[in-house]
Amino acid sequence: MTKSKLEWLARAGYSARGIVFLLVAALAVFSSFGGGKADTKLALDAVLEQPLGRVWLGLIGLGLLGFVAWRLAQSIANADNHDHSVKSYLIRAALLGSAVTYMGLAIYAFQDALGFGSGGDGGEKGLAAWAMSQPFGRFLAGAIGLGFVVGGAVTALKGITRRFERYLTLGQSRPLLLVCVYGLVSRGVVFVIVGVFFCYAAFTVDPGQAGSISDALTFVRQLPFGAVLYLVVAIGLAAFGIYNLVEARYRTVSTPKLSQVRSELPLSHN
């Protein structure tokens, strides 16, 4: 795949993810006043209710497929040129998990756009149910939950330490930097809470205990000063959406060379 094609897919993908999280944040803020829930699939459902909703939803689905392609390039083909340390392999494993997650969301978008409906259980509860149906399913579900927790912590740390700047060319735009930090930390906090719910579901062997973004926000609202914390996190998800739009514009997108891709394949080392 040429650089221009991969770059287009990556930027379209970041744009689509940014739009989804801006919608999630809008639903979250609205639900703080009028009730209701907010997560990625509900955000897509909200798009469907708008004029030309099926068209917009199809375009978002296409953008998410572009994001999946970019995540696969990052994880399998090592497009970001990570070294061969344990830390780098863990990062790439998380990127591969992200590709799987957004593939599911893209499929959901296309199903809604084509009027097929989502069908069956979805989201974190559906993932937990699938994991627990496998051999050693309880441990698999626990591992997935720990992956969410670690992924959330890494995302928040990425914002706090501003490590994301190594892939962005923002110059001296401090307001954008602060928005990116705020968004990454907020997304990381939500990820950690979702991971804890998942681990609890594995401990109780009850997929129904797994939680979504909506459940994480509900948990935040039940804390002391929960109403304020809820709005802080909800607005932070909007900042995460803006962060993705910033990445769509300023992210450095590198195309892995064919020789590099071959070196990453297990058979190439035999």
How far is residue 214 CA from its own chain's centroid?
Answer: 14
Cα separation, 179 vs 202, whole angstroms: 35
Segment 72-79 mean pLDDT: 90
Tracing tokens 């799987």 back to the chain, one arrives at 100
DSSP-assigned letter for residue 251: B
pLDDT per residue over 129-153, tens digit each?
878 888 888 888 888 888 888 888 9
Do the Cβ atoms of 151 and 92 come closer than 8 Å? Answer: no
pLDDT at 198: 86
Cα separation, 71 vs 94, whole angstroms: 10
Q: 81 — alpha (psi -120 to 50), left (phi > 0) or beta?
A: left
The yes-or-no verdict on residue 268 having pLDDT over 70 is no
Q: How confident is the model at residue 263 (pLDDT cuts 50, 70, 90)?
A: low
DSSP 74-143: HHTS-TT---SSHHHHHHHHHHHHHHHHHHHHHHHHHHHHTT----S--HHHHHHHHHHTSTTHHHHHHH
DSSP 52-78: THHHHHHHHHHHHHHHHHHHHHHHTS-
pLDDT per residue over 14-42, tens digit each?
999 999 999 999 998 887 776 667 778 88
